Structure 1
Amino acid sequence: MSTKPPSHVTGAIGSPPGKPELDPAAAQARPPLTQRLGFRQSLLLAVALLPLGVISLVQGNAWLDAARKQRAAVLAGETLRVSAPVAGFIREAQGAAAALARTVRPLLDDELACDAAMSHLAAVSPQYSVVSYIPVSGQMTCASGGAAYDYSDNAFFQSIITDLRPKVVVNSHGPVSGTSIVLVAHPVIGDEGGYSGYITLALPHSALGAVEPMASSGLEAIDTPAFVTFNRDGTLLTASTGLDRAAEILPQDVTLTEQVTAGQSSFTARTASGQERFYSTVPVIEGELFALGSVPVRETAGFGSLSGLSPFLTAALMWAASLMVAWVAAELLVSRYIRRLGQAIGSFASGSREVDDLDMERAPAEIREVGRAFLRMTDTILHDEAELENTVHQREVLLREVHHRVKNNLQLIASIMNMQSRRARSPETKALMKGLQERVMSLATVHKELYQTTGLADVRADELLGDITQQIVSMASAPGRTFRIETDFAAIPLTPDQAVPLSLLLTEGLTNAIKYAAPDPGESQPRIRLRFAALDGSRAELSIINGTRPEAEPTPEPEGTGLGRQLVAAFASQLGGEVRTKVEDGFFSLSMEFALRPLEGGEQRNVV
């Protein structure tokens, strides 16, 4: 006699009806990230730190704006400082040209005197390579050093003569000096009031070299400032890198003409080579001369191309670091101990009764108390399970003994009835006693199955119906009268409340089939087919089919008393089914369909 393991007993008394059993795999699977304690604690901390993060971002943005403005101011001041010598030379040349334009008219008719005046100015101001007067005709005859040149067909001269205003222009190849020059021109008013020509002073670019920036300028030591000057037409005058390499430092998408109209301004742009530079435009001579300083945009604090976002990154990194600390703290202080406790609870709930050491000595006091409570609970449950298992075992033994004694008593009654039937003289009495004996033996067989079954809560239909069929056929067989029995019994578990009436119904139906069964054409033995099968999982059907004699119509009434029909109907009523009979093609069939009763009902009646 075997007993059920404690896990089954625990499931029977500890699991509420209707609740599914715990899946061990599901119990041990880690929950999604969004459901973990560390994530939720970090999320709440993130919400709590959000106002501080916003304040940090606002302050960082203000700091970044202030830094940009300071950088622009420093670059503008440095641009003015570096371009001051060039501006001084050009202002001085403009003043000299204006003074010479007012005093040169009396000398225009005397070529030698005019040359001498021009040569004198060039001698006292060696920064001028050529000092000259160019009339409207373009025939230069008055110049320092007695130089003469015909500009009448010169396109550069024609562009100057069409706009009779003081101007500063660049000629990349001066026809007299043969070098790149900055030409300062001032119109000369003739005797009749009209313009007669221009006084021009040529400043070689070699005399306008840029001044190196000071170490204390406020720009980073790694910066390399570059400076250019240009006139109101956007014409480049000087460049600290040289005019031939000026394109390397000029903005690609911003023209110098746009900077003339913009006045003093600061902006960031990329050069033609893709280098990002910071620019500052400063008017040197208002409306006439402008200076443009630039410096590469350098990475700050090692952030690479994200240097402009460094204040925001600092706040974001601090915010992320706080979240990481919260996550690690939750994992070290709470999550790992809760996970151990959850695994132990899940393992215990799934049936395991081995409770390992939870190792919660370093856990917070509250979690240690929960672990101790779990250990006390498991000890109590294991003790109660042991007592309950012992009680159930005792009841099982008693119930088996009851079934065993009932079976023995019923077999004894059947034996007494068999002895009595042998003494009977009339066939009617013998048939009646034999029918009663078969019914008693059917009941004995049911109790035998209940005694031999393992679970006590159910009976396997194939074993029970097979034993009853074998018993009835052996009692009905005799020399010269044998039967061919075909059985198909499904292994359906039945509660005792259904096993008893079903076995008695089979007894009555099979007894009737044996009584009236006839062999099939060409065969010597009557064939009886017995079938018990599930229909849709919740219903089952018992059917008995046998061949019939043409001259007799079979009925489920032994000896014509009607008792068999009444018993069959009564047993079917106990099962909640209805008996159907029919005769077709020489075969008589008896079938009964009923609903299978859930085994929980049988379990509760046996345990309570």
Structure 2
Amino acid sequence: MSETTSATRRRLHRPGLALQLAFVLSLAILPLGLISVYQTYKLIEERQSLSGSALLEETQQAVAVARNVISAAASTAETLSITIPAVRDTQETCDAVLARVVAQNRDFVFAGYVDSELGLVCNSDNSLDVTGLDALEDEILRPEPGLFVRSFGFLAGRATLNVTVPVMEAGVFRGVAWVSVPLVDLNAALKRAAPDVELVLFQPGGDVLATENFTDDRRSVLPSDRALDTMAMRGRHTFRGYNRAGALRDFAVAPIVEDEVFVMGSWAPRHRGLLVTSYAETLALYFPIFIWVIAIAVAYVGVHRLVIRHIRRLRSWMRLYAQGQTDFANARLDNPPLEVEYVAEAFRAMTERLGEQDRRRQEDLEEKTVLLREVHHRVKNNLQLIASMMNMQIRATSNPGAKHLLRRVQDRVMALSAIHRYLYMARKLSMVRADKLLEDIIEQQVALGSLEEAGHRIAVSTKLDPVEITPDQSVPLSLMVAEAAINAVKHCDVDKDTDGAWINIALQEASPGVIGLSVVNSRLKPEGEPSRPEGTGLGSKLIETFVIQLNGKLDTVEEDNRFELHVTFPLAWPKEGDDDDDD
């Protein structure tokens, strides 16, 4: 039973036809989808590459002015590093040379010479405040060319890009030649060069030299996931990503002063020439998904209309048939395929044949039930006739012993008659209500039929639970109860000091599938001669025989004031094909 249930559950958990079809179609479309996605991905890569190449070219062209300014400042500083050793001893001459350099190039705002002791020996403008150089010792006093950005008080508070070149004499570091370019002019040049490109000049260490908007937010145009020093190490390259403001941008990085200054340009991704637009690109990327959804939807609608709805209709017919409806002659499907119509026709033919068989079987069953009831009725009448004849014989017999024996036989015959009377009147023949059957037998045999032999009044109490048994078990159980009850009446003594004799009979389900019967009667321990009549022991032997027929177990308990008989037997089930009901 459990294996059948588990198999049914496995079948119910299988995917339906629509899901299986969706899976098969998905496998069929998968190669086309992968090819389409791959081609779209390559197209996107190509577009990104072209957009990056265009940005790199635009960036290099846009920083041409800044490159020229920085290169001019570096060349001038390098020239001054050679010239200064010849004029530094005369401050007026040195100042005049530096002032002429600044005057001749409008991109410069300051030029000077700082010795190795961090002293400003000469400069282009003696009116400037030259204090505060100690804070710039690391940037200024370096034995190699360098660039740095600072805002100095002696340069009228302006931010500048400063270029330094070491001054060497006979291999000895004597100081640096210093040229300053105002950042405001450099930033303006970047802004004018390419309005649609955000430009940033930076050093390999990651310091920003100039931007179009050199404010506190100047780093918002930088990539959010890459550092400037890392980009400088890679040299010339392009990539796509998000800036620190959260906008998607194309980035291009290129050196403008070898190993000293780099430029980074960025703009929104561009679509040029015959390249696909962003909308078309998205459509191409998701085209396989659209095809899959449409194919699944069309397949589902088709399968549902051609197959599933007809199968569900057939299933509803089967459920109605399982519930008892058998007339499907007029049941029709709504324009089904020919194959499904064959199935429906086969179902209608099957139900018609099974219905005819059920009708014949019901007629045979009714006829069988009527005959069986008639048999029980005739047997009951014959047994009652025999009991009446025996009663006549009892009255005609003067021998007390013979009367007693005849009455015992009569009691057994009446017990059998009670069984057949119950079976004749019962609505259900496959199972017998043991409590009702035993109640009739006890009332007839104990409460009425045998009290006159006991010579005293007996209180009979019963506790019979509603228990169903098979007819095969009803005969030995009824006869056993009759014998036990008659024996209890015969041996039920009473003490004059007590309220009276009593008999308790109980029937209940001791455990699942096991029935228990108990017959307990009062007794009086004999003193001297026994007061109980001697018997042949036939009743006890019959009880043991009936217990064996029930496949049960018999236990008896004798005490001073009571006698107990306990029987337990397994409950039998009706055989396949027995009658269930007689409505």
Aligned with residue 240 of structure 1, among 209, 212, 234: 212
Q: 1:39, CA displacement in angstroms?
A: 3.0
Distance 1:476 1:193 in 2: 147
Distance 2:425 2:269 in 1: 93
Distance 1:424 1:328 in 2: 94
3-state DSSP of counterpart to 2:511: coil
Correspondence for 2:487: 512
Contact 1:250 1:271 in 2 (8 A): yes
| Deviations 1:213-251, CA, capped at 9 Å, x for gaps | 769xxxxxxxx5310223566554331123554233235
Distance 1:330 1:54 in 2: 26
Correspondence for 2:273: none
Q: RMSD of the alignment, in Å?
A: 4.8
Contact 1:151 1:157 in 2 (8 A): no
Q: 1:45, CA displacement in angstroms?
A: 3.9
Correspondence for 1:219: none
**Is 2:572 the counterpart of 1:600?**
no
Correspondence for 2:472: 497
CA shift in 2, pair 1:119/1:543, >3 Å: closer
Q: 1:448, CA displacement in angstroms?
A: 0.8
Q: What is the percent sequence identity of the aligned residues?
A: 28
3-state DSSP of counterpart to 1:431: helix
Distance 2:261 2:217 in 1: 20
CA shift in 2, pair 1:569/1:150, >3 Å: closer
**Is 2:50 the counterpart of 1:75?**
no
Contact 1:228 1:292 in 2 (8 A): yes
Of 76-85 and 184-193, deviating more is 184-193
Q: 1:400, CA displacement in angstroms?
A: 1.1
CA shift in 2, pair 1:409/1:245, >3 Å: closer
Distance 1:36 1:274 in 2: 46
Task: State the one-letter code of the partner of 2:21.
Answer: Q
Contact 2:433 2:466 in 1 (8 A): yes
CA shift in 2, pair 1:356/1:343, >3 Å: farther
Correspondence for 1:198: 177
Q: 1:336, CA displacement in angstroms?
A: 4.3
Give 1:98-117 correspondences, 5 Å limit.
115=96
Q: 1:164, CA displacement in angstroms?
A: 5.8
Structure 2 unmatched runs, 5+: 271-275
CA shift in 2, pair 1:567/1:111, >3 Å: closer
Return the TM-score normalized by structure 2: 0.77
Of 194-203 and 427-436, deviating more is 194-203
**Is 2:262 the counterpart of 1:281?**
no
Task: State the one-letter code of the partner of 1:495.
Answer: T
CA shift in 2, pair 1:485/1:293, >3 Å: same
| Deviations 1:8-27, CA, capped at 9 Å, x for gaps | xxxxxxxxxx79999xxx99
Task: State the one-letter code of the partner of 2:354.
Answer: I
Correspondence for 1:293: 265
Q: 1:450, CA displacement in angstroms?
A: 1.1
Correspondence for 1:484: 459
Task: State the one-letter code of the partner of 1:600.
Answer: K
Of 317-326 and 234-243, deviating more is 317-326
Q: 1:435, CA displacement in angstroms?
A: 3.0
Task: State the one-letter code of the partner of 1:456.
Answer: L
Correspondence for 1:451: 424
Aligned with residue 66 of structure 2, among 81, 86, 92: 86
Correspondence for 1:140: 122
Of 39-48 and 415-424, deviating more is 39-48
Correspondence for 1:265: 237
Contact 1:548 1:587 in 2 (8 A): yes
3-state DSSP of counterpart to 2:575: helix
Correspondence for 1:221: none
Contact 1:119 1:131 in 2 (8 A): no
| Deviations 1:445-488, CA, capped at 9 Å, x for gaps | 22111110111223222222222222224233449754322223
Distance 1:281 1:510 in 2: 113
Give 1:57-68 correspondences, 5 Å limit.
58-68=38-48
Distance 1:337 1:101 in 2: 98
Task: State the one-letter code of the partner of 1:385.
Answer: D
3-state DSSP of counterpart to 2:506: strand
Contact 1:279 1:295 in 2 (8 A): yes
Correspondence for 2:371: 398
CA shift in 2, pair 1:107/1:432, >3 Å: closer
Q: 1:391, CA displacement in angstroms?
A: 1.4
Distance 2:258 2:352 in 1: 96
Give 1:139-538 correspondences, 5 Å limit.
139-140=121-122, 143=124, 151=130, 154-155=133-134, 162-163=141-142, 169-173=148-152, 175=154, 179-183=158-162, 198=177, 200=179, 202=181, 205-206=184-185, 208-211=188-191, 225-231=197-203, 235-242=207-214, 245-251=217-223, 256-267=228-239, 278-295=250-267, 330-351=303-324, 360-473=333-446, 474-478=448-452, 481-523=456-498, 526-538=501-513
Contact 2:428 2:581 in 1 (8 A): no
CA shift in 2, pair 1:407/1:231, >3 Å: closer
Distance 1:358 1:277 in 2: 68
Give 1:121-132 correspondences, 5 Å limit.
122=103, 125=105, 127-130=106-109
Q: 1:152, CA displacement in angstroms?
A: 8.0
Give 1:45-64 correspondences, 5 Å limit.
45-56=25-36, 58-64=38-44
Task: State the one-letter code of the partner of 1:476.
Answer: S
